[in-house]
Amino acid sequence: MNEYDSNRIYDLASVIGFKKTNTKTEADCFVLNTCHIRKKATEKVYHEIGRVKKEFRNLKKPLVVISGCVAQAESEEIMKREPYIDMVIGPQSYHKIGDLILKHERKKGKINETEFDVVRKFDELEKIPNTQNKISSFLTIQEGCDKFCHFCVVPYTRGPEYSRPFDQIISEAQDLVKRGTKEIVLLGQNVNAYNYKNQYKLSSIIRVLNNIKNLKRIRYTTSHPRDMSEDLILCYKDCSKLMPFLHLPIQSGSNEILKLMNRKHDREYYISIIKKLKQINKDIKISSDFIVGYPGETEKYFKETIKIIQEIGFINSYSFIFSPRPGTPAAEKELSKTNINEKRLKEIQKVLDNYQYDSNKKYLNQNCEVLVENKLKKQTKYFGRTKYMTPVIFEADTCSVGELINVKITSFNRKNLFGIYKINKIKAA
């Protein structure tokens, strides 16, 4: 979502005359669009500001703007800790960036803008074209979350659930396709909770997108198991452009930990959703997020997480040690021992890596459908992705970016597939 927001921030800044520069020291303005999901992400902000300060030591100071969730959650603190910062803008107020920059030009004072103004944000954004022209483009359809998992800052930094107007989304999707997009990734913190006026759901958007002529693939992320409704599951049967790959975070395989996390689902419910999906489409594969070392996690509970990984066989998953975020209920709890958490993280990653490796191994010597995303810089090779998002690097006599092609896989590692693409030439008699 930050990538989508960063692009839109650029679209807004270009209205008042800003252009991107590849030479850092030429910049008049830096916007650091930030993430607050883990502590490490916050610290990166200060490191980056440190670098900017150093590079501009003998130059005119640029305007420094911090946007995104760190700005929302720690606006006062970051202004105090780093006086080099001129402006903080929360994720629901970035549509004002042009006006705020002009205001700063006039008055020169520090600006702190962290209002939750999500309705106006999307109304304003609708007036400015989304200039993404990538083969695979993000499209935000929903923001915020009402689930309040005890470890998560999103409900505090992005605010309550908000669904964008249905027509606004469809028109943005059509524009993206006109600009050359072949794959749309629908975004939301709780994307499958999308509900516009009790009339349109995520499945309604997918069904319309499925009929857009030059669009080839549809994905969505991130989903909550509780919102995997029947109508959405049915899309995996009816909509050929919806990819058979779903990122569905479970976080833990232990019902006791899921309860402590306030996840509002248990392992049995999660498994029942996967069963339904596989009944509808046997090719579906699932990825997930796992938090290791959540306060209260015993060895028994941890082993239950390993067990569910073995039961479901997740691919392309993410795992992290619990990171307490200030202001969330879990931040008040006693932390588990670091050495135990590190050991568990290694163990879980080893199991996940093995599934990933085995999944990639199955492609060896097979033809695999790839959406070509770009040609690699200074190389003759191309880059694309499978239906399951696995990166594919391949040689080709000739091929076009944006094409769906069959690549013969000749080797692999845990993360990537490697192959060759040859157009079959029919020999003249």
Compare residues 246 and 371 and give the one whose CB is closer to ligand SF4: 246
Measured distance CA(144)–CA(188) in Å, rounded: 8
Residue 126: CB minimum distance to ligand SF4, A:
24
Taking CB under 6 A as the binding criterion, the range among 21-29, 70-78, 144-152, 212-220 that sits at the site for ligand SF4 is 144-152
Identify the residue among 44, 103, 147, 375 touching ligand SF4 (CB under 6 A): 147
Residue 398: CB minimum distance to ligand SF4, A:
43
Q: How many residues bind ligand SF4 (CB under 6 A)?
A: 10
Compare residues 42 and 189 and give the one whose CB is closer to ligand SF4: 189
Compare residues 69 and 405 and give the one whose CB is closer to ligand SF4: 69
141, 186 contact by CB (below 8 A):
yes
Identify the residue among 141, 145, 215, 243 touching ligand SF4 (CB under 6 A): 145
Measured distance CA(18)–CA(98) in Å, rounded: 10
Residue 147: CB minimum distance to ligand SF4, A:
4
Interaction of residue 154 with ligand SF4, rule CB under 6 A: yes
Compare residues 86 and 227 and give the one whose CB is closer to ligand SF4: 227
Interaction of residue 149 with ligand SF4, rule CB under 6 A: yes
Residue 27: CB minimum distance to ligand SF4, A:
33
Interaction of residue 140 with ligand SF4, rule CB under 6 A: no
Taking CB under 6 A as the binding criterion, the range among 83-91, 148-156, 401-409, 419-427 that sits at the site for ligand SF4 is 148-156
- Footprint of ligand SF4 on residues 167-226 (CB under 6 A)? 189-190, 224
Interaction of residue 155 with ligand SF4, rule CB under 6 A: yes
CA distances from 228 to 222, 270, 273 (A): 11, 10, 7
Adjacent-strand bridge partners of 409: 419
Identify the residue among 105, 148, 237, 376 touching ligand SF4 (CB under 6 A): 148
Compare residues 84 and 148 and give the one whose CB is closer to ligand SF4: 148
Compare residues 140 and 359 and give the one whose CB is closer to ligand SF4: 140
Taking CB under 6 A as the binding criterion, the range among 71-79, 147-155, 175-183, 347-355 that sits at the site for ligand SF4 is 147-155
Interaction of residue 260 with ligand SF4, rule CB under 6 A: no
Compare residues 149 and 176 and give the one whose CB is closer to ligand SF4: 149
Residue 10: CB minimum distance to ligand SF4, A:
25
Interaction of residue 142 with ligand SF4, rule CB under 6 A: no
Using CB under 6 A as the criterion, which residues of the chain lie in contact with ligand SF4 when the complex forms? 145, 147-149, 152, 154-155, 189-190, 224
